[in-house]
């Protein structure tokens, strides 16, 4: 197999490292290799539910130890974006603590009367009442933001609705299209490269989705690796007008591909 020289790796989590609370094949070997070689790496997830600390603790429960500095989420990217657009603003948030805490840390307040933004992330508590409130606020002028455009996500038992699917009823009821900050938005990709202190020419992105991970890498000028352990299978890739640079069965095969040029 041709070896690829890189100086930084951006890696998805859901469908690459784990499904729900189950570690995927090859993930432990891959993480051990990352830490042993000291290659700069960042877990970049479109999931907005958990904070970096919670993600670190989740992996710890699976037997893998990674410092929370190696995680960056769509919730963090969304909060940074909102802060840059409307410093000290307010938002009505439908999401989990990882998103709500990131909103607070960005200097925003929570507002369900006349917010600047309605922000949607993944949450099991999504319901008709919260949809109705969001629709009313958007129709009254609040801007609609989604943490990521993923329509589905993998869990142990199969595929479940993700942020893009949760935003859709609000878009349909208001006629307003949401702005999504997570992958493949260049905003989150620039943030990842900045955290890694790595130029795009020497970076690699690893993921399981054509419509977020792979297109994000292609549009950012970053080499791409598709793993088939998540939501995408070989036949699915035929529907897209672009291809990943490399295709692997699982992330445990990645060390065979990489030559670290640090």
pLDDT digits (tens, 9 = 90+) for 188-224: 999 999 999 999 999 999 999 999 999 999 999 999 9
Helices (H) and strands (E) in the chain, counts: 9, 17
pLDDT digits (tens, 9 = 90+) for 228-250: 998 899 999 999 999 999 999 99
Cα–chain center distance at 9: 14
pLDDT digits (tens, 9 = 90+) for 112-136: 999 999 999 999 989 999 999 999 9
pLDDT for the residue 235: 93
pLDDT digits (tens, 9 = 90+) for 15-40: 999 988 889 999 999 999 999 999 99
Annotated catalytic residues are 12, 14
pLDDT for the residue 156: 67
Domains along the chain?
A: 8-46+183-256 (3.40.50.1000), 77-180 (3.40.50.1000)
14 half-sphere exposure, CB direction, 13 A CA radius: 23
pTM for this entry? 0.93
């Amino acid at each position: 197999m041709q070896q690829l020289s890189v100086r930084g790796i951006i890696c998805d989590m859901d469908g690459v490292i784990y499904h729900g609370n189950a570690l995927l094949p090859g993930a432990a070997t891959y993480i051990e290799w990352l830490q042993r070689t000291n290659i700069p790496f960042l877990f970049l997830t479109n999931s907005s539910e958990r904070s970096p600390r919670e993600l670190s603790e989740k992996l710890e429960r699976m037997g893998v130890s990674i410092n929370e500095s190696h995680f960056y989420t769509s919730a963090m990217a969304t909060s940074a974006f909102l802060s840059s657009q409307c410093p000290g603003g307010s938002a009505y948030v439908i999401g989990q603590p990882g998103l709500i805490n990131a909103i607070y840390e960005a200097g925003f307040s929570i507002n369900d009367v006349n917010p600047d933004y309605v922000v949607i992330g993944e949450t099991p508590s999504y319901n008709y009442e919260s949809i109705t409130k969001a629709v009313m606020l958007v129709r009254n002028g609040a801007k609609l933001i989604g943490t990521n455009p993923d329509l589905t996500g993998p869990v142990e038992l199969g595929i479940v609705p993700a942020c893009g699917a949760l935003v859709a009823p609000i878009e349909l009821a208001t006629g307003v299209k949401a702005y999504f900050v997570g992958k493949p938005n260049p905003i989150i990709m620039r943030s990842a490269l900045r955290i890694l202190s790595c130029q795009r020419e020497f970076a690699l992105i690893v993921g399981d989705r054509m419509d977020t991970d792979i297109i994000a890498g292609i549009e950012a000028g970053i080499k791409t690796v598709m793993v088939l352990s998540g939501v995408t299978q070989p036949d699915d890739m035929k529907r897209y007008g672009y291809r990943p640079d490399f295709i692997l069965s699982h992330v445990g095969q990645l060390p065979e591909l990489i030559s670290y040029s640090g």
